[in-house]
Structure 1
């Protein structure tokens, strides 16, 4: 979809549709009042008749409103004005886009970006509108024989801002929102692909395709032969039961001089997690294709980074692997020697993500990074703790954790910090090895991060557990593309991009 911003009076807009808000109870926004005046009370008369109350998400599509040059006027309920928050704002935008997409309005001018959302400026409102719009129209039809796309989809959206001075902010918001949406779209598409197509080789091919598209990117490929040379025995053990080769893809973005230390993102890429010998229950096992959402988020993030050409050195690591039961699969009771030299007793082969990540986290030491952030659908315990609304952040470096939480607030891609105290380390002690790969039921998200922390002593590190936020189940089953918006915001802040004006 094409987006743009302008500043103008509603009565002068010539478009297929003009979108204005109505607050509860039946109170017109300032823009809607202007249309009501030129239409000689047409809109207010409809409201008095009870056609629209103004509750959040209500819509009323009007045709040929008197003296209004646009073909249609879409009234959108915005709830109570004083209660309008960021969540409700995004829901209103989503409902608007859905309605326009279903009613044949191929273009529209939207005045909802002039609504007051406490604590947020024009940049935030326009960027969130772009991201919400793209999220609303997303579908995954690649493998359907009959496509279900609307006959006359919405193709162009113009966001109106209050003054001409805000046009620059709006244009930057569209640039950022469009690039973030492109990354989210890629992350969703890769995540939603079935595991018979999306295997570690496929992830590597997606990485190479990105590098062929953007001149700032280049890719290194680390296959099993190279992993063996590097003694990445923990990573290799997880993939031993699969016919698909484990492949780690290293995507480099050069946006700054060579002497600037890179920021590294490591994504867990279990393209299917059966649990291995400790096999999972059959119910909803199909959703274990989403155990690579950390890797797909890294792919999406690197696409956004390249689209915006962020002036930082950034490295994305896609740690592809598949965990399957087989005569050659690793077993509970095995002791693995990791790339770092530390040993791990395997208590459960379904705690495999940390075994892949620990070697990847040791591998990235060679880049002498400013910071390393891993992204992983790591623990079911995270879903129990935070549900589907917040990504868990755990870090051994307070400033990095604060930067990530701040970015989550700014981007409305929510995250919450959990503790990483030394007391939790004792949960993963083993009588036979340096540590166990499982800490038991209590504090499962934290003990998993404790495990990873033992491989991150040489740099500043944070861990994002996205087990609850990476995809939705049930009737709305599908990947979300999170936390691409939050991580992009983190990088924009690091680059000082938001402070240029």
Structure 2
């Protein structure tokens, strides 16, 4: 979908569908008043009949209005002007997208210059609009014998005055890149695990390097990982016929020698739980256990499309967790790349095992900050549900940067404590550390485990177990989160 910014006036624009906002109580902004005047008051006359009051998400489609070049007009309720916030704006845009999806015509124009969204300037308002419209057109029908109907809507026109044009254009450019990154992430997450295995993810990273300039990709195979002493990582991958790997991506868009930022993604392409086997019901959704790695790839795609002036490292910890005669047993003790030993009490707590060695490997890049992203704990879903990602870290400044990025991006996280008292739950009588901390505070103790391998740098951990995909039913599928949050964080750093 193409997004074009124009300074044309709504009544003079030739388009298949002109979208005009109406406030609650049938309140019209200046741009809509101009369109109404051009029609000789036809719009206000229709509104007076009571078909649309302007409440959030209401829509009314009008045809054959006089003196407008638009083939049709979609009136869109935006609620009370002093109450329109990000959540309601999402509903408004969602209602418009749902209606436009069922209409003919190759384009639509939005006249939202006068719309004010709480705590959002023109840039932030339009960026969320574009992201939501682009995301609404996503479809995954690769394995359907009958494909989805082709999307008729190819272009969205964003109307504004000249003073708003730079902000609108910047918002459209950033949002298009983020939407592309989210779609890439969703595609990877939705792929079946018999296709999307560790080597496949490595190949996708290589293809990304061929498609965009400035990306260098290296694959650390199991032989190399063995040489590096990555005993925790290999303990996970050894039960599978699919070899594990760490995918190393380096993008140098900043100054030469400038310290990079680093993103680390958990890429368990299928998680049976290993010997600590998961229940069968819903196990198909464990193909989404690689969404941390997928979101890092999606964020890289957005960064590469925008060619941000930063240096960035991506590390994807890719493995498959399977039960077999070669699989790790509960009670096994392994030595990590850092030299610390781990008693594996539960083989279903495998994400932290691949991540701990990957975090140790990140030290060699001397990063300014490291953010790891993982579908790590079911406890995070219990704590925060499916709306908010969990966030913990050893640097409060970094945590605040990520929280702020999530607010602006509409992709929120919530900080959980990382107090030293929780570390005691990981004590082992036989090794330096146990890989689980018991039934209490599971998200926190998982982060405590990772924190022991992140002492050499500023570090934060995003638990996206509740936000990376939607479970069950017809709506089941990857969400593309937290690509917006991560991209916003990097946009902030590039500024």
Which of 223, 228, 234 is residue 232 of structure 2 equivalent to? 234
Which of 168, 171, 180 is residue 170 of structure 1 equivalent to? 168
Quick one: distance in 2 between partners of 1:114 and 1:411? 21
Quick one: distance in 1 between partners of 2:159 and 2:382? 41
Equivalent position of 2:451 in the other structure:
453
Answer yes or no: is 1:430 the counterpart of 2:428: yes
Quick one: distance in 2 between partners of 1:147 and 1:57? 29
Quick one: distance in 2 between partners of 1:51 and 1:92? 17
Residue 82 of structure 1: how far off its partner (Å): 2.2
Equivalent position of 1:338 in the other structure:
336
* 8 Å CA contact 2:10, 2:159 repeated in 1: no
1:123-134 paired onto structure 2 within 5 Å:
123-134=123-134
Equivalent position of 1:160 in the other structure:
159
The runs of 5 or more residues in structure 1 that have no matched partner are 497-501
Encode CA deviations 1:107-156: one digit per residue, 9 max, x unaligned: 11101353111221111111111110111110101111111124x61111
Quick one: distance in 1 between partners of 2:406 and 2:292? 17
Answer yes or no: is 1:86 the counterpart of 2:86: yes
Equivalent position of 2:257 in the other structure:
259
The DSSP-based 3-state class of the residue aligned with 2:20 is strand
Which of 412, 415, 418 is residue 417 of structure 1 equivalent to? 415
Which of 311, 329, 354 is residue 313 of structure 1 equivalent to? 311
The DSSP-based 3-state class of the residue aligned with 1:372 is strand
Moved more, 40-49 or 341-350: 40-49
* 8 Å CA contact 1:16, 1:70 repeated in 2: yes
Answer yes or no: is 1:187 the counterpart of 2:205: no
Quick one: distance in 1 between partners of 2:336 and 2:78? 55
1:4-153 paired onto structure 2 within 5 Å:
4-150=4-150, 153=152
* 8 Å CA contact 2:85, 2:119 repeated in 1: no
Quick one: distance in 2 between partners of 1:191 and 1:62? 39
Encode CA deviations 1:9-28: one digit per residue, 9 max, x unaligned: 22222211111012223333
Distance 1:257 1:40, change over 3 A: closer
Encode CA deviations 1:400-455: one digit per residue, 9 max, x unaligned: 11111111111111111111111110011111111110011211110000000000
Quick one: distance in 2 between partners of 1:386 and 1:12? 48
Equivalent position of 1:499 in the other structure:
none
Residue 248 of structure 1: how far off its partner (Å): 1.1
The DSSP-based 3-state class of the residue aligned with 2:57 is coil
Moved more, 90-99 or 56-65: 90-99
The DSSP-based 3-state class of the residue aligned with 1:78 is strand
Answer yes or no: is 1:478 the counterpart of 2:477: yes
Quick one: distance in 2 between partners of 1:393 and 1:164? 40
Residue 98 of structure 1: how far off its partner (Å): 2.4
* 8 Å CA contact 1:239, 1:246 repeated in 2: yes
* 8 Å CA contact 1:98, 1:137 repeated in 2: no
Equivalent position of 2:437 in the other structure:
439
Q: TM-score, with normalisation over the residues of structure 2? A: 0.98
Quick one: distance in 2 between partners of 1:32 and 1:258? 51
Quick one: distance in 1 between partners of 2:30 and 2:281? 52
The DSSP-based 3-state class of the residue aligned with 2:317 is strand
Equivalent position of 1:352 in the other structure:
350
* 8 Å CA contact 1:25, 1:54 repeated in 2: yes
Residue 39 of structure 1: how far off its partner (Å): 1.7
* 8 Å CA contact 2:265, 2:317 repeated in 1: yes
* 8 Å CA contact 2:391, 2:413 repeated in 1: yes
Encode CA deviations 1:223-267: one digit per residue, 9 max, x unaligned: 111111111011001011111000111011011233211111110
Moved more, 48-57 or 178-187: 48-57
The DSSP-based 3-state class of the residue aligned with 2:262 is strand
Quick one: distance in 1 between partners of 2:8 and 2:152? 25
Residue 55 of structure 1: how far off its partner (Å): 2.2
* 8 Å CA contact 1:233, 1:339 repeated in 2: yes
The DSSP-based 3-state class of the residue aligned with 2:79 is coil
Equivalent position of 2:488 in the other structure:
489
The DSSP-based 3-state class of the residue aligned with 2:358 is helix
The DSSP-based 3-state class of the residue aligned with 1:431 is coil
Number of aligned positions between the proteins: 494
* 8 Å CA contact 1:20, 1:29 repeated in 2: no
Residue 282 of structure 1: how far off its partner (Å): 1.1
Encode CA deviations 1:467-493: one digit per residue, 9 max, x unaligned: 011111123111111111111111111
The runs of 5 or more residues in structure 2 that have no matched partner are none
Quick one: distance in 1 between partners of 2:67 and 2:494? 48
C-alpha RMSD of matched pairs (Å): 1.2
* 8 Å CA contact 1:266, 1:374 repeated in 2: yes
Distance 1:30 1:165, change over 3 A: closer
Quick one: distance in 1 between partners of 2:207 and 2:42? 54
The DSSP-based 3-state class of the residue aligned with 2:82 is helix
* 8 Å CA contact 1:267, 1:295 repeated in 2: yes
Encode CA deviations 1:321-370: one digit per residue, 9 max, x unaligned: 00011111101111111111111111111000000000001111111111
